[in-house]
Every structure is written in C-alpha cells, then in structure tokens.
Amino acid sequence: MAKGILGKKIGMTQIFEADGKMIPVTVVEAGPCLVIQNKTEETDGYNAVQLGFGEIKEKHTSKPMKGHFDKAGVTPVKFVKELRLSAPSEYTVGQKISAEIFTAGELIDATGISRGKGFAGTIKRHNFSRGPMAHGSKSHREPGSMGPMHSGPGGRVIKGKKLPGRMGNAKVTVQRLTVAKVDTDRNLILVKGSIPGAAGSFVVLRETVKPGK
C-alpha cells in the first residue's frame, strides 16, 4: 500500500465527459487529513501511518485519545485510522494530506460500513429461493431443513450456516474503482460508481491492491 486518505461520503451525482457520456459518481470529501503517528517495523513490528480526519471538540475526546493527540502535537479529530504500508512511511507527524494525492484515472479501493438493513430472512439476506406458493405448502419463505446434524443426540446448527439475521452494517471494501475527477480546491474526490456506506459516513480510499496490467 503506497498511499491512502480518509474522507466522508457526501452522496452521489453525475458528471459528463466531453463527448456527452454521463458517468455516475460518488462524491467524497477527502481530507485534509492529519498524520498522527508514524509506525515502523523497527519500533512497532510493522509499517503504517495513522491518519485523522474530521473536526471534534476537545471535550468530546477521551483522556487516552487526548494524550495521544497532545503527544503528536495535533488538534483532536473524530475519525482515526491506520493505513498499512509496504515500505517505511515518508509521512511526518503533523503533516496534512489532501485530495491531491490522487489523480483522475487512478484505480482505488474504497472501504466503509455498509448500510444497516435490520433483521432479514434468508431470501433477502442470502438470495435463497422461496418455497411453493400453494396453500398446502406452509413454507413459502422459510429457510427449510437444517440438514443432518452430526453431533449426537439433539444435534446442533453448524457454525456459519446461512440463516436469518442482521443484514448490513458491516465493513465492506469495493476494489478497483476509478477516480473520475479530483477537485483540489474543495478537497473532493469523485469516484466512478458507488462505494459502501450511507451519506455522511466515513470511508477510506486506498491505492488499489490489484492494479492489473
């Protein structure tokens, strides 16, 4: 991982190319981010840079985090995230990183917390097929048989089995998205397509791990 930035998802819109082709894009307010800590393999066992984004009042910061910010000499921030690096970081503590680190046409990976959809059944959650809709079936949208139980009397449900439960509200990464446009004046990055999360949620944009040919 060579570079990355933290941001906030603003929403979706569309832009037009010179030939009139419409492109749906997601607008991300990317930075400015503060470098809070620089970790190296010699001192921490791995290479990473810790970034912070989003203003927050000092009274809303916990005492451990306040001490962490004071040690770095930076103002408190709301969103803190580490980005792993394959080589020793070239960033310095207190440095500001803005949207200009990315350019149009680059491939990135976007990570965010997906929208929570509440409790869902197997048809919506796992794309199961429904049962017969005749009046005598009595199992229209039920998950059906649990399969053979092999753990003795009583049986048990095998761990990881696809069943009804909470859907969404999980960490999701979408790879190989294209940067459509970068507005350095307003620190906005326009990403082609959609990225995980609701409008107003925090996201992480990284240089893709699958650059391809």
Higher pLDDT, 87 or 124: 124
- pLDDT of 149: 61
**111-139 average pLDDT score:** 93
Q: Which position has the higher pLDDT, 158 or 43?
A: 43
**Which is more confidently placed, 149 or 101?**
101
Q: Quick: pLDDT tens for 143-178.
A: 877 766 665 556 677 788 899 999 999 999 999 999
Mean pLDDT confidence for 43-60: 90
Banded model confidence at residue 121, pLDDT cuts 50, 70, 90: very high
Go through 179-200 and write b for each residue having 16 or more CB atoms within 10 A of its CB, e for each that does not.
bbbbeeeebbbbbbeebbbeee
pTM: 0.84
Mean pLDDT over residues 16-40, rounded?
Answer: 92
Q: pLDDT class for 5, splitting at 50, 70, 90? A: very high
**Is the Cβ–Cβ distance between 19 and 44 less than 8 Å?**
no
Q: Which residues of 67-88 are buried (b: 16+ CB within 10 A; e: fewer)?
A: ebbeebebebbebbbebebeee
Structure confidence at residue 3 (pLDDT)? 86
Residue 195 has pLDDT above 90, yes or no: yes
Over residues 122-139, the mean pLDDT reads: 91
**The predicted structure's pLDDT at residue 100:** 92
Domain boundaries, the chain: 4-116+172-207, 117-143+158-167
Q: Which CATH number fits domain 4-116+172-207: 2.40.30.10, 2.20.28.10, 3.40.920.10, 1.10.10.10?
A: 2.40.30.10
Give me the mean pLDDT over the 82-90 stretch. 76
* CA pair distance 17, 9, nearest whole angstrom: 23
pLDDT of residue 154: 60
pLDDT for residue 108 is more than 80: yes
pLDDT of residue 67: 94
Cα–Cα distances in Å, from 107 out to 69, 80, 192?
32, 23, 10
Percent above pLDDT 70 for the chain: 93
